[in-house]
Chain A
Amino acid sequence: MLGIARTLAALGCLWVIGASVTQLAGAWGGGRKDHSQPQGAPRRGVLYNLTAAMLPTHKETVRHHLIEFAAGMMLHAGVLMVLLGAVLAVIDPDVGTAVLHISRPIAGLSLLIGVILLARRIFSWTLRSMSSIDDYLAILAVIGLLLLATGFGGGDGNLTGLLLYTALLLAYLPLGKLRHAVFFFAVRIDLGRRLGHRGTYPPPTESPHGR
């Protein structure tokens, strides 16, 4: 059974890679040449938008919501750690199991954060008013993964369950809200490139964004 679970998880990985590449290529649409005369450097804009632009000093939504920002980072760190463990388990169950063991405290904390974020989405009228079923499914799917990882005790049974769940999660990832994991990088690169071309990014060093 573990062998089947490993195979399904491996297929899940391939599916995510294939679907993401296809979606990104489709979204890119062959690209479009910018005919305007550059005033800055697109690469510098991309670099800035993937680094300093995300810091509390530069991004207002982070600066004003440091707790939510820290919680979000923690949630994503936990999910990535568990997914890393699962992927490694596909290659070598012993290594994957070791990583999943180490991940348990982080997964536990991330689980708590995931539940709080779900509650926030349910009880905040503002968030509820703009949420679709997919928005709830996405956080529930992640909570499920973190629940399995937090309770992970090792052994073939546990690993099989976690890998089967991971395969399901990966199957869903490119279709719904979870694909922001891939598009996150695409939008930051795209906006950074455009604002770098125009000279807005990176901001003037003498007074970055006036602060």
Chain B
Amino acid sequence: MADEAPRPDDTVRRAIEKLDRAIRGLGSYHMNACVKCGLCGETCHVYLAEPDPANLPGAKATEVMNIYRRYHTFLGKHLPKLVDARDATPETLDALVEPVYGRCTACGRCSLHCSVGLDVSAVIRAGRNMLAESKRVPEGLQRTVDNQIETGNQMAITREELISTTEWLTEDLQTEMQDDSVRIPVDKKGRRVLYLINPREVKFFPLSLMAAAGVFHAAGESWTLSSKFYDVTNYGYYSGDDDSATELTRRVMEEARELEVQEIILSECGHGFRSFRWEGPNWIDRAYPIPMRSVLQLLEEYLEQGRITVDPSKNTDRVTLHDPCNLVRWGGVSEPQRRVLRQVVCDFQEMTPNRADNFCCGGGGGMLSMSEYGERRVASGRVKADQIEKTGARIVATPCHNCADQLIEISKRYKLGVDIQAVVELVYSALV
């Protein structure tokens, strides 16, 4: 006997429509392929740290798929109990928040190792799309998105603060490089490169911005920052709010056009790279008129072309490399950072596993913004801590400031005693 779905209220109806659009984008193949074999647990850092069935990637995805089935499959529509299909109601949407935000960093490691091959992280993001549409994004994550939309950057840094930071960084850089011509240019029209940075570089990791400026100067690069839209992050991607993600992409492209640059270079940021490089053109529904690359690819180019000279003996400590999921697994950038590091450090030691197989640090998916899941986030970092410990490294290079925050925290928690550095910082240290 057919079991009619109740008439949803307006918020829930919009969430259902959002799910329709999300699965149309990725193809709903992935919603129909899970065989619930349960083998995915060991691929997930959250499950490994806390082996609760609710942390199985398949179980988390099933929470989204159960709602999908109710509206998109024959059995889900007519015999919902047979396939556990669930109506989208305020209650079921509330219950979806923890599985898709609190138990998953959407790192997608399970997607690559799924016995069938379904993209679990895409299913999870479809769930986030629904929750973002129905205003159920966890408060801290939503606040970060709001900051970006309202102020142009996720940390609500004022223009004055940015300018002030670039000024004192310039002074420090001139002293360090013993060169008064070094500048951190802001809002300069007609430069070759617009450099997007993580606002954390302004607030917490100024050495990273200083290092990049030093390397650009050494390479004779023509570049500028923008004081309006310089944020390489895109928290709309994490929250599932495609409208905000689209707006942030559009603003950056407009700013690049205003400044008449020839290329956009993205600072070391995993999800920022994925958002702008891969998702952005599809959000705005057209190809970018300006090319875009990661700074890692630019650094490799400098070394290849001899535009900078480096001496690895300036970095004698053992260095290992963390592969940010969105840069490597979902961004396809795994080798430039390795080729760069091999030239700028004496002792480079890979983690195992690495590259696309690498484990998430635990801080992805917007986890760092959601304090309610903080304890689970740090606990899930145990897997990464073990990986780091086995390398015997003194320095962990990580081309992502979001990962850097988490790695600093797990280094303290698990007493790893390692320094966390951006790749560009190691390049800067090796400049001759």
List residues of A whose CB falls within 8 A of some B CB.
23-24, 26-29, 32, 34-37, 39-40, 49, 53-54, 59-62, 64-65, 68-69, 72, 124-127, 129-135, 137, 175-177, 179-180, 183-184, 186-188, 190-191, 195, 198-200, 203-204, 206-207, 209-211
Most interface-central of A61, A195, A203 (chain B CB within 10 A): A61
Chain A residues whose C-beta falls within 8 Å of the C-beta of B24 in the assembled complex: 29, 32
Among B113-121, B190-198, B203-211, B234-242, the stretch in contact with A: B113-121
Contact B32 A210 (CB under 8 A): no
Q: Which of the listed residues B115, B117, B334 has the most CB atoms from chain A within 10 Å of its own CB?
A: B117
- Interface range on chain B: under 10, 10 to 19, 20 to 34, or 35 or more? 35 or more
Q: Which single member of B29, B82, B277, B285 contacts A132 (CB below 8 Å)?
A: B82
**A209 CA to B59 CA in the complex, in Å?**
26
| A132 closest partner in B (C-beta) | B84
In the complex, the chain B residue whose C-beta lies closest to that of A59 is B113
Residues of B within 8 A of A206 (CB): 335
Residues in B with CB closer than 8 Å to A209 are: 353-357
Is B90 in the interface zone, CB < 8 Å from A? Answer: no
Instruction: Closest A residue to B278 by CB, please name it.
Output: A36
Distance between A32 CB and nearest chain B CB, rounded to angstroms: 6
Interface residues of B (CB under 8 A from A): 23-43, 53, 56, 58-59, 62, 73-75, 81-84, 111-119, 277-282, 284-288, 291-292, 328-335, 350-358
* Distance in Å: Cβ of A206 to nearest Cβ of chain B: 8
Interface SS, A side:
helix
Contact residues in B for A125 (Cβ distance below 8 Å): 53
In the bound complex, do residue A184 and residue B355 qualify as a contact, i.e. CB atoms below 8 Å apart? no
Contact A210 B358 (CB under 8 A): yes
- For the complex with contacts A27-B28, A206-B335, 20 further pairs of A-B residues with Cβ separation under 8 Å are A23-B32, A27-B31, A34-B281, A37-B291, A59-B115, A61-B39, A61-B113, A62-B115, A127-B38, A129-B53, A130-B38, A133-B83, A134-B84, A176-B83, A195-B330, A198-B331, A203-B355, A204-B355, A210-B350, A210-B351
CB closest residue in chain A, given B84: A132
Could you jot down 12 A-B contacts, CB within 8 Å? A34-B281, A35-B286, A37-B291, A60-B357, A133-B82, A134-B83, A137-B82, A188-B117, A190-B26, A191-B111, A209-B354, A211-B357
CA distance A179 to B279 in the complex (A): 30
Distance between A139 CB and nearest chain B CB, rounded to angstroms: 10
Q: Would B335 and A204 count as touching, CB distance under 8 A?
A: yes
Contact B59 A180 (CB under 8 A): no
**Judging by beta carbons under 8 Å apart, are B84 and A27 in contact?**
no
Closest chain-A Cβ to B389's Cβ sits at a distance in Å of: 17
A178 and chain B: residue at smallest CB distance: B35
If A200-B356, A209-B356 touch, whether A176 touches B33 (CB-CB below 8 Å) is no
Known A61-B113, A134-B82; judge A186-B357 contact (CB<8 A): no
Contacts of A186 in B (CB 8 A): 27, 29, 33
Residue numbers in A under 8 Å from B81 (CB-CB):
133
Contact A180 B33 (CB under 8 A): yes
A153, chain B: closest CB distance, angstroms: 32
| B354 → chain A closest CB, angstroms | 3
